[in-house]
Amino acid sequence: MQQFERLKLLIGDKINDIYSKKVLVIGLGGVGSYAVEALVRSGIQDITIVDNDKISITNLNRQLMTYHSNINNYKTDEVEKRILDINPNCKIQKITEFITLDNINNLFNKKIDYVIDACDTVTVKLELIRICKKKDIKLISCMGTGNKMDPSRLKIMDIRKTNYDPIAKIIRKMVKDERIKGKVMVICSDEQPKVKIREFIPSNSFVPATAGLLCASYIINDIVGDIYV
């Protein structure tokens, strides 16, 4: 496909491996929206997108598909439009539902090669790790990106190497208590929170976006056999 010629110059025939992979992205906020777009622009052509939210005005500071003109539209619908405008051949499954422990297994009714966890629900994050380990699916899970200002402090790492992140702390405990073997790969920042959180978590445009791009880079580099295992 001509639109991927520049990428093919970089990775050669590995582009065909990218075309064949199926990716599930859970959460289409500041992290997930950027992850999805980077994947599609990198040649992923079978993608499942999951989010139950509608766009609100407070999303406009950090979520890729949000505008004043589409406030109150479902995020899944707006992300689907962007995907198809980038690559009309992309096969998309939309799941516009809130994921819980009761329906999480429905996400795996089809073959999945990779999962990006960009959701905010800790119980779902924990269960995704369990499911992906059981099914031998590669997972990259994003920890907190709110209340941070330095995107260069974000890193791809095993959960056991994380610090300063309250979500990561919960996951580390689960991994230890349940004796989960092998790496549990996450995106995590070692930056300490900037302000005391009250009602809403502060955010900006560049930290969540960087985390989303790192999620996509993890998958693409893994497919082409680069630095991640």
Please give the pLDDT value at position 160. 97
Evaluate whether residue 140 is within a structural domain: yes
Compute the distance between CA of residue 78 and CA of residue 139 in angstroms, rounded to an integer: 25
Evaluate whether residue 229 is within a structural domain: no
Please give the pLDDT value at position 226. 62
Helices 32-41, 206-223: inter-axial angle, 10-degree rounding: 40
Compute the distance between CA of residue 210 and CA of residue 31 in angstroms, rounded to an integer: 8
Evaluate whether residue 228 is within a structural domain: no
Evaluate whether residue 32 is within a structural domain: yes
Q: How many domains does the chain have?
A: 1
Evaluate whether residue 42 is within a structural domain: yes
Evaluate whether residue 17 is within a structural domain: yes
Please give the pLDDT value at position 221. 96
pLDDT digit string, tens, across residues 184-221? 999 999 998 877 766 788 999 999 999 999 999 999 99
Please give the pLDDT value at position 1. 79
Domain of 158, in residue numbers: 2-223
Compute the distance between CA of residue 218 and CA of residue 78 in angstroms, rounded to an integer: 25
Compute the distance between CA of residue 50 and CA of residue 136 in angstroms, rounded to an integer: 21
> Which of the residues in the chain have pLDDT under 70?
197-198, 226-229
User: Which CATH number do you get for residue 88?
Assistant: 3.40.50.720
Look up the pTM and report it: 0.96
